Chain A
Amino acid sequence: MVAETTLTSPLRLEGVRKRFQRGKESVLALDGLDLDLAPGQVTGLLGPDGAGKTTLLRLAAGLLRPSEGRVFLFGREGGAEDKDLQVRIGYMPQRFGLYEDLTVQENLDLYSDLQGLDPEQARHRQDELLTLTALGPFGKRRAGALSGGMKQKLGLACALLRAPPLLLLDEPTVGVDPIARRELWEIVQGLRAAGTTVLMSTAYFDEAERCDSLVLLHQGRLLRQGSPERFTEPLRGRCYRVRHADERRRALRESLQQRPGVRDARIVADGVRVLTGPEPVTPEAGERWEPMPPTFEDAFVDLLGSGGAGSVATASAASPVSVGDAAAETVVEVKELRKCFGRYEAVKSSTFTVRRGEIFGLLGANGAGKTTTFRMLCGLLPPSGGSLRVAGVDMRRAGSTARARLGYVAQKFALYGNLSVDQNLAFFAAAYDLGGPARRAAMARAREEFQLAPYGAVNADDLPLGIKQRLALACALLHEPTILFLDEPTSGVDPLTRREFWQRINALAAQGVTVLITTHFMDEAEYCDRLVLMSRGAVLAQGSPTELRTLAQSPDRPDPSMEEAFIQLIEAHESPLRQAS
């Protein structure tokens, strides 16, 4: 599109270090980063939490100055005060910078004026972008009233008004439902075709594989840069899908993970995916090992390790049950549950049952009604209609009796940030009415099971996200509940931590604890025994992961992923709604 972009690199970093002062400590967010972005490509920026992705994007946008080293944009140095450079960059921050009190059109007008588009040009470009993002019918709606996906698209449209040669996107697809994610990705594809250079950070491996080039950061350093193939090629011949005639996936995964030579084992559709070390591993009897092409997730795990929790030690909390037994007692029974907030129907008539020892998932995008359902199940919100029984108790009548038997981990963990790990444990133990020896025993058990002993004196706010998640789980399990509710425990958590977390959940379920969990990560559905798919307050489908995937099977798509199944189910359910609203 612009001739010179094909000659000079749109973004080049030379030995960039960036230090932040956090209290008395100095934190090194970027540590000697050299980077060169190829023009006209979509580059994905990946790495665990705290790897320096946002810092890198802000440096590129000129919003931060490097502590050391140099940042070149189109061959020039200059920050946010350099107007010539600024008109050539589109930047969408993680919180997309929309004015929620302003309508879609007013937001677009504001950014058109700020970008200095003349009125004629602005109208033309806005029409183009409204068509591209399918936001046309919502021009008069306030940005605050848009769904998460529409907000992201509007934020993207605002960053694209000037058709910038370089576009910087900070996690544009986080917390967005699969349909909106696919739409956003199509927009980005269109930009690539128009010659725009895109640098976007993402937490999704499938998006990474669709990028032209990838940058993997770890602890502020560049771990590797190159095409997705450059990441996956070295792993060729080391990836397998393992199936076993008798053993269930969860038990099989556990046994494979422990085996020498296995780097990583994770549950996927129809089996367990295994990444081995360079040495081949001999299959055991009854196992069928099928070679698979390597994916970026394998490379990510190979480069960064599988999260450090190879073994998750657990003491028995409840008596084990034969999992998946259809005759097992029903612990949660929900019938035609409804919840209205004023005129807004947050949950519309959902019905499902959960049996003892199951991992039961509630899947859906933000705003699907998962958290509201959860709060009703825990007796934190009175339902507007329907019945629900938890552990045999009617939650509408005797909430507190049932509550003593369930553990609840709220979104964002709800820990006391300025109390230490030990103090948090002691507080929650006291809150669950554990006294004296019982409290000491519970705390000791939690410290051991969740490997929290080394962090005893650290304040919860200062913990890494993964440890914080462990602490929250430990606190919810102090009183040995038989039912555990987890509300979006993996939101915003990096892939490695998510993996470790699921190992713990599996171990708990193996002990007979019933786990109910909400998530918007479709790949996590495979870890559940059964699940419901929710969208806009309604249950679209329920069943085992395999059953749900089968629902979406068609001749041209014989083996759909959970995400594809979800998209298809939502589209079938909502296509009249989406057109109408």
Chain B
Amino acid sequence: MNLRRLRALVRKEFLQILRDPSAIAIAFFMPVFLLLLFGYGVSLDARHIPLAVVVDRPTAETASFVGGLERSSYFAPRFFPGMRQARRALGKRRVDGIVWLRSRFSRRILRGETTSIGVFVNGVDANNARIVEGYLEGVWQNWQAQRALAAGQPLVVPVKGQERIWFNPALRSRDYLVPGLIAVIMTLIGALLTALVVAREWERGTMEALMATPAQMTEILLGKLIPYYVMGMGGMLLSVAMAVGLFDVPLRGSFAVLLLVSTLFLLVALGMGLLISSVARNQFVAGQIAIVVTFLPAFILSGFIFYIPSMPAPIRILTHLVAARYFVSILQTLFLAGDVWPVILGNSLALTLMAIFFLGLTLRRSHKRLD
């Protein structure tokens, strides 16, 4: 290891980064773009669900029930004169559900008899259907409790849940998405960028020239690791700043721990990038491999959007091979819950093992030879 050679290589890499806008775009423009998209555009919360309401015989009772629906921010009720029209609207997906208050509704309520409301939900989007169903149930129960209160006789429910939502009391999905997104962004910078820039050296023939100099392979690899570590951490800090400053995501854990685990994860991502570039020696192939092998799994299998425990068993096992999974878990905990050591340590151990594996394999595979 010769420090002068290493310094020269790192300097060269930074000069290239500064002069080639594509690297800067990937490292800094992509995080901003993805964060804005996910922060503002994508939300897993259901709001303003279009709902058809059919009231066969309007009365004071139906008006009060429908008033409950209108006040709820979850629904945007629209009135239809009859079921036929409502069904057609559901078929065309102009509404996601129908609430049908039949003509006997008020009569039976007033008599104190059990009555029912018709609820039809479009089950094509299963997830959304369940949310609509649950919310309607809530509105219904709420309305009943209020009626009982108004009548001066509290509603008797045998078991009552005492709900308390921890860590994300407002249930904002953004608070949960943004930390996971940071993991995806760092995978992108770490693996994709590294794989591309090493492939570029092969493509332009500069790798061949480097190898013919006394520079050692470890120096050449470190000459790539150090600059892109700095870039990756830069991208991460930018994302954290945006998360906390722009999206009001709380950061409850300590910043030092965040830096440490990010370093660990970045080493894994950089290791994957270098390993890919040792296989693929042109930018197009390297980019394809990096996206399919690192970026897409980080997106889909890391638990960043899709909940891992609800995946089928074989896929669940597969997620253990996705480094982003451990990092997403740590980040979500760090941001929303704080320094929960069992989560941090366990996942960090997995990341350490993966970093050793990828960097070790890269080092073993890299020779100063073309064959």
Closest-by-CB residue of B relative to A109 is: B8
Contact B212 A80 (CB under 8 A): yes
Q: Which of the segments A39-47, A95-103, A231-239 contacts the partner chain?
A: A95-103
The docked-state distance in angstroms from the alpha carbon of A472 to that of B8 is 46
* Chain B residues numbered 210-231 whose CB sits less than 8 Å from any CB in chain A: 210-216
- The answer to whether B117 has its CB under 8 Å from any CB of chain A is no
Is A396 an interface position by the 8 A CB rule? no
Whether, in the assembled complex, A111 has its beta carbon less than 8 Å from a beta carbon of chain B, the answer is yes
B20 located at the interface, meaning its Cβ lies under 8 Å from any Cβ of chain A in the complex: yes
Task: Tell whether, in the assembled complex, residue B5 and residue A100 are in contact, meaning their CB atoms are under 8 Å apart.
Answer: no
Q: Which residues of chain A are near B213, meaning CB under 8 Å?
A: 86, 111, 114-115
Answer yes or no: B7 CB below 8 A from chain A CBs. yes
Q: Are A102 and B368 in contact (CB under 8 A)?
A: no
B5 adjacent to A113 (CB under 8 Å): yes
Q: Assess the B208–A114 pair: CB atoms within 8 A.
A: no
Complex Cα spacing A96 to B12, Å: 17
Q: With contacts A80-B212, A114-B215 known, is A96 near B8, CB below 8 A? A: no
Name the segment of A56-64, A196-204, A288-296, A459-467 touching the other chain.
A56-64
Contact B370–A110 (Cβ < 8 Å): no
Question: CA A91 – CA B9 in complex, angstroms?
Answer: 19
| Binary B-proximity of A152-172 (CB < 8 A = 1, otherwise 0) | 000100100000000000000
**Cβ-defined contact, A91 with B214, below 8 A:** no
Instruction: Give chain A residues whose Cβ lies under 8 Å from the Cβ of B9.
Output: 110, 114
B contact residues around A101 at 8 Å (CB)? 15-16, 19-20
On whether the beta carbons of B209 and A93 are closer than 8 Å, the reply is yes
Give the residue name and chain of the A residue nearest to B7 (CB): A113
Q: Which residue of A lies closest to B6 (CB)?
A: A113
Against A, the Cβ 8 Å flags (1 = close, 0 = not) of B327-371 are 000000000000000000000000000000000000000011111
Interface size, chain B (Cβ < 8 Å): 30
Q: How many A-B residue pairs have CB under 8 A?
A: 98
A135-157 residues with Cβ-Cβ distance < 8 A to B are 142, 155
For chain B residues 1-25, which have a beta carbon within 8 Å of chain A? 2, 4-5, 7-9, 11-12, 15-16, 19-20
B369 touches A86 (CB 8 A): no
Once bound together, how far apart are the Cα atoms of A65 and B371, in whole Å? 8
Chain B residue with Cβ nearest A107: B12
Q: Which residues of B contact A89 (CB under 8 A)?
A: 212
Cα of A94 to Cα of B205 in the assembled complex, Å: 8
Cβ of A567 < 8 Å from any Cβ of B?
no
Residue of B nearest to A103 (CB): B15
A81 contacts chain B at the CB level, 8 A cutoff: yes
Interchain CB contact under 8 A, A158 and B214: no
Tell whether A80 pairs with B368 under 8 Å between CB atoms, given A91-B209, A113-B5, A114-B210. Answer: yes
Q: Which residue of B lies closest to A95 (CB)?
A: B205
- Let me know if B370 and A64 touch, CB within 8 A: yes
Which of B11, B367, B369 has the largest count of A CB atoms less than 10 A from its CB? B369
Asked whether any CB of chain B lies closer than 8 Å to the CB of A87, the reply is yes
**A106: interface (CB < 8 Å):** yes
Asked if A97 contacts B209 (CB within 8 A), the reply is yes
Contact check: which of A87, A91, A106 meets B15 at CB < 8 Å?
A106
Is A416 close to B, CB under 8 A?
Answer: no
Q: Is there a chain A Cβ closer than 8 Å to B206's Cβ? A: yes
- Which of A75-90 touch B at CB < 8 Å? 79-81, 83, 86-87, 89
Complex formed: what's the CA distance from A91 to B211 in Å? 10
A residues near B160, Cβ cutoff 8 Å? none
Give Cα A63 to B212, complex, Å: 7
* A interface residues, how many (CB within 8 angstroms): 37
**Would you call B4 and A102 a contact (CB within 8 A)?**
no
User: Which residues of B from 288 to 315 have beta carbons under 8 Å from A?
Assistant: none
Which single member of A83, A97, A99, A113 contacts B208 (CB below 8 Å)?
A: A97
Q: How far is the CA of A97 from the CA of B211 in the complex (A)?
A: 10
Q: Per-residue CB proximity of A94-130 to B under 8 Å, as 1/0?
A: 1111111110001001110111100000000000000
A95-B204, A97-B205, A106-B15 in contact; A63/B370 too (CB < 8 A)? yes
A80 to B207 CA separation, bound complex (whole angstroms): 13
In Å, the complex CA distance between A62 and B5 comes to 20
Given A94-B205, A101-B19, is A87 in contact with B212 using a C-beta cutoff of 8 Å?
A: no
Contact between chains at B206 and A98 (CB < 8 Å): yes
**A96 contact set on B, CB distance < 8 A:** 205, 209
Are A97 and B210 in contact (CB-based, < 8 A)? yes
Q: Is the CB of B15 within 8 A of A63?
A: no
Residues of B within 8 A of A79 (CB): 368-369
B7→A115 contact, CB < 8 A: no
CA distance A81 to B213 in the complex (A): 10
A63 and B208 form a contact (CB under 8 A): yes
Q: Which of A96, A110, A155 lies at the interface centre, i.e. has the most chain B CB atoms within 10 A of its CB?
A: A110
Which residues 152-197 of B have a CB within 8 angstroms of A?
Answer: none
- Measured CB to CB, the closest approach of chain A to B266, in angstroms, equals 24
- Is B205 in contact with A110, judged by CB distance below 8 angstroms? no
From A64, A91, A142, A155, give the contact of B371 (CB < 8 A). Answer: A64
Could you give, for residues 438-474 of chain A, a 1 whenever the CB lies within 8 Å of some chain B CB and a 0 otherwise?
0000000000000000000000000000000000000
Q: Give the docked Cα–Cα distance between A43 and B20 (Å).
A: 39
Q: Considering only CB atoms, which chain B residue lies closest to A90 in the complex?
A: B212
Chain A residues within 8 Å of B216, by CB: 81, 83
Q: How far is the CA of A412 from the CA of B9 in the complex (A)?
A: 34
Closest-CB distance, A11 to chain B (whole angstroms) = 14
Tell me the minimal C-beta distance from A235 to chain B in angstroms.
38
Q: What residue of chain B has the Cβ atom nearest to residue A115's Cβ?
A: B213
Closest beta carbon of chain A to B210's beta carbon, Å:
7
In the bound complex, residues from chain A placing their C-beta under 8 Å from that of B211 are: 63, 80
Q: If the complex has contacts A102-B12, A110-B8, are A61 and B205 also in contact, measured as CB distance less than 8 A?
A: no
- Are A114 and B370 in contact, with the CB atoms below 8 A? no
Contact of A113 among B4, B15, B20, B367 (CB under 8 A): B4
B7 neighbours in A (Cβ, 8 Å): 113
Measured CA separation A513–B100 after assembly (Å): 84
Interface centre among B207, B210, B371 (most CB of A within 10 A): B371
A114:B16 contact, CB within 8 angstroms: no
> What's the minimum C-beta distance from A18 to chain B, rounded to whole angstroms?
8
Complex CA gap A157/B307 in Å reads 58
Q: Which listed residue, A63, A92, A115, touches B214 by the CB 8 Å rule?
A: A115
Tell me the minimal C-beta distance from B368 to chain A in angstroms: 4
Does A87 lie within 8 Å of B214, measured CB to CB? yes
B17 closest partner in A (C-beta): A101
> How far is B217's CA from A63's CA once the two chains are assembled, in angstroms?
12
Q: Which residue of A lies closest to B212 (CB)?
A: A91
A83: chain B residues at CB < 8 Å are 214, 216
Q: Are A93 and B208 in contact (CB under 8 A)?
A: yes
Cα(A99)–Cα(B15), bound, Å: 10
Q: What is the chain A residue whose CB lies nearest that of B203?
A: A95
Partner among A58, A87, A99, A115 whose Cβ is within 8 Å of the Cβ of B206: A99
Among B8, B12, B205, B213, the one with the most A-chain Cβ atoms within 10 Å of its Cβ is B213
Task: Choose among B19, B214, B371 the residue that contacts A86 (Cβ–Cβ < 8 A).
Answer: B214
Contacts of A142 in B (CB 8 A): 19
Q: Is B206 touching A97 in the complex (CB atoms < 8 A)?
A: yes
Q: How far apart are the CA atoms of A111 and B213 in the complex, in Å?
A: 8
The answer to whether B212 and A113 touch across the interface, beta carbons within 8 angstroms, is no
- The answer for the CA separation of A80 and B215 in the assembled complex, in Å, is 9
The answer to whether residues A93 and B205 also contact, given A102-B16, A115-B213 and a CB cut-off of 8 A, is yes
- Give, as a whole number of angstroms, the nearest-CB distance from A80 to chain B: 4
- In the bound assembly, the distance between CA atoms of A79 and B214 in angstroms comes to 11
Instruction: Flag A1-27 by CB within 8 Å of B: 1 or 0 each.
Output: 000000000000000000010000000
Given contacts A93-B208, A100-B204, 18 further A-B contacts (CB under 8 A): A63-B208, A63-B212, A63-B370, A64-B370, A79-B368, A80-B211, A80-B212, A81-B367, A83-B214, A89-B212, A91-B209, A92-B209, A95-B208, A96-B209, A106-B15, A113-B8, A155-B209, A158-B209
**3 tightest CB-CB pairs across the interface, nearest first?**
A97-B209, A95-B205, A113-B8
Q: List 7 A-B contacts (CB under 8 A).
A: A62-B212, A93-B212, A94-B205, A96-B209, A98-B206, A115-B213, A116-B4
* A residues adjacent to B (C-beta < 8 A): 20, 58, 61-65, 79-81, 83, 86-87, 89, 91-102, 106, 109-111, 113-116, 142, 155, 158
